[in-house]
Amino acid sequence: MIGCLTGEVVALEAPTVLLQVHGVGYEIDTPLSTFCQLQKGQTITLWTHLSVREDAQLLYGFAEAREKTIFRTLLKVTGVGPKMALGILSTLSVDLLIQTIEHDDINTLTKVPGVGKKTAERLMIDLRDRIKALQHHSTTTASTLQSTTDNIATFSAHTAVAEAEAALQSLGYKPLEAKKVIASVKDQHTEVADMIRAALKSMMK
């Protein structure tokens, strides 16, 4: 099992990072909370989860070990696969997810792409007890929707909009929906991470 990888970021294409480790390039899918912290040339450690299927072996990576723990916890819920789990962690920070479960806030969960009412209810039931183990880590504030993106990557202006739209589509948003919400925030932001963050906040209202 590959528990973590430390290497150089050589390519970024939301939500996938190509991490070079001792001459080997690993393609790793990440939640946007992690992706938006990365920049080319950066050396970083990602906490990884290896998913083995009949047709593929897929790596998922996280900037924080706690995100990896939550990701694995989400996968234990019936009907939740890696794509949906990444979507949840991209839309909700770990602290906000904990707060959402604690307060039985189904409306917030259903704003995540691909999560309907029945899935949200199942998440509430299955996660309520498991999430208690993480309560002592929670430092929830009114602004917990904003992920830790202090060291976000910068992209050239002519590709920023397309990159942001692609990132939202990777979470399950429809192309027209992604295009519309990015168009509503692109004039206020020049960097992809800022556009994504603003778009996600807009859709959570």
| pLDDT for residue 135 | 54
Burial class (CB in 10 A: 0-12, 13-18, 19+), 98: buried
Q: Alpha-carbon distance 139 to 23, whole Å?
A: 39
pLDDT tens digits, one per residue of 19-65: 999 999 999 999 988 998 899 999 999 999 999 888 888 999 999 99
Domains of the chain, residue spans: 4-62, 66-137, 157-204
Partnered with residue 25 across adjacent β-strands are 20
> Would you state the CATH architecture of domain 66-137?
Orthogonal Bundle (1.10)
| pLDDT for residue 5 | 96
Q: What is the CATH number of domain 157-204?
A: 1.10.8
| pLDDT for residue 171 | 74
4-62: in CATH 2.40.50.140: yes
129 to each of 67, 69, 123, 126, 133, how far by Cα in Å?
A: 17, 14, 11, 7, 8
Q: What is the mean pLDDT of residues 180-195?
A: 83
| pLDDT for residue 147 | 40
